[in-house]
Amino acid sequence: MPRFIDVQAPEHGVRLLTLQRPEALNALCTELLAELASALAEAEADPTTRAVVITGSRKAFAAGADIREMAERDLVGILNDPRVAHWQRIAAFCKPLIAAVNGYALGGGCELVMCADIVIAGEDARFGQPEINLGIMPGAGGTQRLLRAVGKPLAMQMVLTGEAITARHALQAGLISEITQPELAVERALQVARSIAAKAPLAVRLAKEALLKAGDSDLASGLRFERHAFTVLAGTADRDEGIRAFQEKRPAQFKGC
């Protein structure tokens, strides 16, 4: 039983993971990260789960790492930090991950947001990498994914000043995909997840992989990967069903093969 994560399956094909560490604004302690990584591993192993929504509370998505925990680690401790492996497992999750963000997404919380594929944020959400204020720097993708998401000048500003940006600013910059009324962020994320859950799972999986490739490879290899993935889908029953349903003007029934 996870201590810091509540796992629900509110609708068919969709899992909702809620970070629950209210006393610390959902600060990502190592135990929470480990629980998150294994919750995602379970969602990955479950064939009926086709999309996952991750959220925090109304006040905070996740307000950073656990500073007390970090203070206890010296150089060697950081070198052997188990968190690195948890982050890798989270980032490698192969099904669509949708973040519903309200309140603070700071430091590790902002880095977690950037591990998600789609981000829905309530209009009072705040995103930032305040690590610099503690004499440290982002250590879980904050300097890499942020630059790819928002471009160099804003990424530099956020990382070097530690100042957070508003949801509206984050939307303009391309860090998030949509803004909602705060009370409706989770609902909207579930809607998006439901829509994805109704698609052909193999197509969704390969499309996600191709999109992620685009962020970290040169154009030629990205295009080559895209073409291979496109070709693989030609051998699936779901592709035949999708095209036939379109021609017969009916909703497609995908089976995941």
102 binds another protein (CB under 8 A): no
Q: How far is the CB of 232 from another protein (least distance, A)?
A: 39
Closest to another protein by CB, 19 or 125:
125
Closest to another protein by CB, 48 or 181:
181
181 binds another protein (CB under 8 A): yes
**C-alpha pair distances (Å), 125 with each of 61, 81, 136, 192, 202:** 9, 29, 24, 19, 33
Single out the residue of 9, 85, 92, 184 in contact with another protein (rule: CB under 8 A): 184
> Do the Cβ atoms of 57 and 107 come closer than 8 Å?
no
Closest listed residue to residue 193, CA positions, set 56, 57, 52 = 52
**C-alpha pair distances (Å), 186 with each of 56, 61, 165, 179:** 9, 11, 21, 11
Is residue 11 part of the annotated active site? The answer reads no
The structure tokens listed for 58 are 């109304």
Q: How far is the CB of 183 from another protein (least distance, A)?
A: 6
Active-site entry in 56, 100, 111, 140? 111
**Stretch touching another protein by CB under 8 A, among 34-42, 51-59, 177-185, 241-249:** 177-185
Active-site entry in 108, 109, 139, 141? 108
Q: Please give the helix or strand (H or E) that residue 148 lies within, else none.
A: helix 145-150
Amino acid at 79: L
Please report, as residue ranges, which positions from 210 to 239 form the binding site for another protein (by CB under 8 A). none
Q: Point out which residues pair with 6 in neighbouring strands.
A: 18
183 binds another protein (CB under 8 A): yes
Q: How far is the CB of 59 from another protein (least distance, A)?
A: 13
Q: Please give the helix or strand (H or E) that residue 104 lies within, else none.
A: strand 104-106
The structure tokens listed for 122 are 């309530």
Is residue 65 part of the annotated active site? The answer reads yes
161 binds another protein (CB under 8 A): no
Q: Applying CB under 8 A, what is the total number of residues that bind another protein? A: 4
> Do the Cβ atoms of 189 and 55 come closer than 8 Å?
yes
Is residue 111 part of the annotated active site? The answer reads yes
What is the DSSP-derived secondary structure letter of residue 28?
A: B
DSSP 36-81: HHHHHHHHHH-TT--EEEEE--SSEEE--B-HHHHHT--HHHHHT-
Is residue 109 part of the annotated active site? The answer reads no
Active-site entry in 43, 65, 170, 173? 65
180 binds another protein (CB under 8 A): yes
172 binds another protein (CB under 8 A): no
- Active-site positions read 65, 108, 111, 131
Residues that bind another protein (CB under 8 A): 180-181, 183-184
